[in-house]
Structure 1
Amino acid sequence: MNASDEAPIRGGFEIVAEGPWAGWWKWSGKDPFEDGTGPFFVKRDERGIVTGFRPETKNLNGHGIVHGGSLMTFADFSLFMVAASGGEEVSGVTVTMNCEFVSGAQAGDLLTARGECVRAGGSLVFARGTILRVGADGTEEAVLSFSGTIKRAKRTSH
C-alpha cells in the first residue's frame, strides 16, 4: 500500500508515511481518550480490514500486563472499522460492547484485530471480531473477542 492508495474506509484518515506503521492509516479526527490510549491504526489487506496497536508502558495495569480498559478501547475502535468494512463510513455511538478476555498481552506486543460486520441496518450496526497477538514468526494468538452494536448518528442537514 502506498500514499496514492485509497483509505481502507471512508472518513478522515491520513496515511502513515514513515516508521513501523508506514502504509497503515490513522484516523485524523480528534478523540482525546482514544488518542491517549493508542495510537490505533487500520489498513485493508488481502483478508480485509485489519486494525493495529502496539501497547506501551502507559497501557499496563498493576500486574504488568496490558490493562483490560486499553484492550476494550482498541476493541471499540476496531468495532467501528470492522463495521465500515463494506466501504460505508459508520458514524455513531457504541450501544453495547461484549468482551471476553482470552489471554494477556505485554507492552511492545503487536496486536491486530479482524472481524466482520454481521448486519448493517438503518439505525443499528452489529459487528464482531477478535484481537490477536502476532508473534515474531507471524503466528496469531487470541487475546480478546468482542462484539457490539453501534447506533448510527442521525444525519442533520445544515
Structure 2
Amino acid sequence: MHASIPDGFVPITRSSPFIDMLGPLYYRLSDDGLEIGLLAEKKHCNSRGIVHGGLLSTVADIALGYSAGGYPDGNRPMVTTSITIDFAGSAGIGDWIVFKTDVQKVGRMAAFANTYAHVGDRRIARASGIFSILDGKA
C-alpha cells in the first residue's frame, strides 16, 4: 500500500532539529482532537523494511505531548515523565500512519493521555503518557 497525505493534514510548524530529521510530520484537528500523521519512508524502517518501533514510540510521544500541551493554539510547557507503548501490528514504506490522541486530564502538575496509531483501519500501536507540567523553573 502506498498512501498519500490525506486532506486536511498540514505540516507541523513547531519543530526541532530532531523532529525535522524524523519528518516531515503533519497534523490536523478533527472532531476528536489533534491527529499527527507520518508518511513512512525507507529512513523510518528497520532492516526488514518494517517501520521501526522506536520511530512509532517517538511519534507517539510527540502526539501525546502536543495534544496535552494544546498544539497548535497553545504551548503548555511540559516534559515526558512516563510513556508505555504496545505494538499490535506493523507499517511499511509508503504507509500513512496517523496517531489519534485522547487526553484524559491536564492538571496543575501533570497531564495524562493515550494515543492510538493506525494504518487505515488497522490499529498498530497504543501508547500512554504522563507529562510533568513545567512551572517555568526548569
**Structure 2 length normalisation: TM-score?**
0.84
> Hey, what does 1:16 align to over in structure 2?
none
Superposed CA offset, 1:90-132 (max 9, x none): 3221110100011110011011111211111111111001000
C-alpha displacement of 1:21: 6.2
Letter in 2 for 1:45: S
Q: Does 1:48 align with 2:33?
A: yes
Q: Distance in 2 between matches of 1:101 and 1:149?
A: 19
Matching residue of 1:141: 122
Matched, 1:62 2:62: no
Paired residue for 1:75, among 60, 63, 77? 60
Mapped partners of 1:91, 1:108: distance in 2 = 33
**Runs in 1 of length 4+ with deviation above 3 angstroms?**
19-23, 84-89
Structure 1 gap ranges (5+): 1-18, 135-139
Output the amino acid matched with 1:130.
Answer: Y
Quote the offset at 1:48 in angstroms: 2.5
What letter matches 1:98 in structure 2?
A: T
Residues in 2 aligned to 1:23 and 1:115: alpha-carbon distance in whole angstroms: 17
**1:151 alignment counterpart:** 132
Q: 1:129 aligns with which of 105, 108, 115?
A: 115
Is residue 39–residue 95 contact of structure 2 (8 Å, CA) maintained in 1? yes
- Of structures 1 and 2, the one scoring higher in RCO (CA 8 A, sep 6+) is 2
Using the alignment, how far apart are the partners of 2:12 and 2:76 within structure 1? 13
RMSD: 2.2
What amino acid sits opposite 2:10 in the alignment?
A: W
Report whether the alignment pairs 1:105 with 2:91. yes
What is the distance in 2 between the residues matched to 1:89 and 1:30? Answer: 12
User: Highest CA radius of gyration, 1 or 2?
Assistant: 1
Q: State the TM-score, normalized to the length of structure 1.
A: 0.74
Q: What is the deviation of 1:152? A: 1.5
Q: Shift of the alpha carbon at 1:84?
A: 3.8
Query: Aligned with 1:119: secondary structure?
Result: strand
Letter of the 2:124 partner, please give it: V
